[in-house]
Amino acid sequence: MRRFVLIVLLLVTALSTGISAVHAQQASQLQVSNLGITYEFGNYIIFQAQINLATLPSEAYLLFRADGEDLTHVIPISLDNQGNTSQQYNMSEGLVRPYSTVRFHYRIKLQTGEELTSEEYFFQYEDNRFSWQTLTAGIITLHWYQGDLSFGQAALDVAERGLKKIEELLLVSPTDPINIYIYATGADQDKALEIGGLSSSVGGHASPDLRLAFVSIAPGLDQGLEMDQKIPHEMAHIFTYGLLAERYSLLPVWLSEGLASQFELASNPDYPLALQKASDQGAVIDMADLCGAFPPERGRQFLAYAQSESFTRYIIDKYGQTGLLALISAYGDGQDCSQGMQRSIGQSLTQVETDWRTAVLGENAGWTALKKLFPYLAILFVLLTVSLISAFSVKRSNNDGE
């Protein structure tokens, strides 16, 4: 009987200790109420809260970070006698990534030295310069601010068709939601990019890690064509990123943009014209030069997009879906621009480009190869000329000395 009573007492003591530990853990979490977030996109964010404490702390901080950013902002704050705090963060202190989820919490240090931390809260930092309308279908949520419901529905229908095309070629079945924002003008879109510290873009922009895209499309006669081209293009960047995650940045730019162009529901009729003109003038850009970046000049940049679309389509037509996915995988594994092509389909980038120029642009393969060798031949010619002149000068000097 005594043994039984002792066991019961030990169990009661253990349970009491466990409950105390839970209470102690709960008590160590900072209690926060009356949370409020106010912001003006691109200018400031105001964080408001009431921190529930018996006495004022010796130190108090607000900590926040936007998804996709490495920096956590640590800001000292002050409290009034009721524990209220209102802290304004100005974008002049550092830009916050547009459309990101901003996660924040409070941390204080009591007069006793004990430190308390609140739970983590979050809000979406989207462009609140406009009153957005929203439609959702499956994993796609579409936002627009100019145009009626039929405009938004038409854009959403395009996004759904684009998604189906992406699923079929990339063999993906995405389940995570994506958001597409439609700006009514390129100026509005570029301003949003500028506010986020990003460079202006032709037609659209994707932040694949945030599963976000935005495009500029004005309601009107051309809206259907622009939707067919821009919306699936930017969506493709998101889902290609889904295949590789952070390794997405290893893809050559020509493949990233050329692949996105394959999913456009309406092809750009000016691409073939630009390609043929460049071919006739001997101005086609070497694909190796489009691995890291596109030219900054608008005309050359347009040609780079046209080449990338045509070159990627040629690869898909000749090597099929298997070849395309193998190419993406090779580049994702860190192979360079030439090695990735060689490993995936057994041909060098130069050879595939020569074949593409012959098959699609109608160029002579020998002449194309000769043009690629021309810079080296020119250097060789200069070296030989210098050598001959030098030899001639030495011989003439010797003759003059006799």
Q: What is the pLDDT of residues 83-111, one digit of tens each?
A: 999 999 999 999 999 999 999 999 999 99
Asked whether the predicted pLDDT for residue 400 surpasses 90, the reply is: no
Asked whether the predicted pLDDT for residue 206 surpasses 50, the reply is: yes
Asked whether the predicted pLDDT for residue 286 surpasses 50, the reply is: yes
Asked whether the predicted pLDDT for residue 56 surpasses 80, the reply is: yes
Under the banding of pLDDT at 50, 70 and 90, the label for residue 364 is confident
Q: Which helix (H) or strand (E) holds 206?
A: strand 204-207
Topology adopted by domain 128-244: Glutaredoxin (3.40.30)
- Give start-end residues of each CATH 2.60.40.10 domain in the chain: 27-124
What confidence score (pLDDT) does residue 180 get? Answer: 98
Integer Cα distance of 104 and 36 in angstroms: 12
What's the angle, vertex CA 256, arms to CA 252 and CA 261, rounded to 5? 140
Tell me which of 33 and 399 has the higher pLDDT: 33
Tell me which of 11 and 186 has the higher pLDDT: 186
Mean pLDDT of 328-344: 95
What confidence score (pLDDT) does residue 201 get? Answer: 74
- Give start-end residues of each CATH 3.40.30.160 domain in the chain: 128-244
Asked whether the predicted pLDDT for residue 2 surpasses 50, the reply is: no
| CATH class for the region spanning 27-124 | mainly beta
Please state whether beta strands 59-66 and 101-109 pair in parallel, antiparallel, or not at all (unpaired): antiparallel
Q: How far is CA 267 from CA 183, 226, 270, 272, 330, in A?
A: 22, 10, 9, 10, 27
The winner for highest mean pLDDT among 24-38, 201-215, 255-269 is 255-269
What confidence score (pLDDT) does residue 55 get? Answer: 87
Residue 25: partners with Cβ closer than 8 Å, 6 or more residues away: none
At 110, give phi and psi (nearest 5°).
Answer: -75, 165
Asked whether the predicted pLDDT for residue 356 surpasses 60, the reply is: yes
Beta strand residue intervals within 32-151, DSSP E: 32-40, 44-51, 59-66, 73-76, 84-90, 101-109, 115-117, 121-124, 133-137, 140-144
Asked whether the predicted pLDDT for residue 17 surpasses 70, the reply is: no
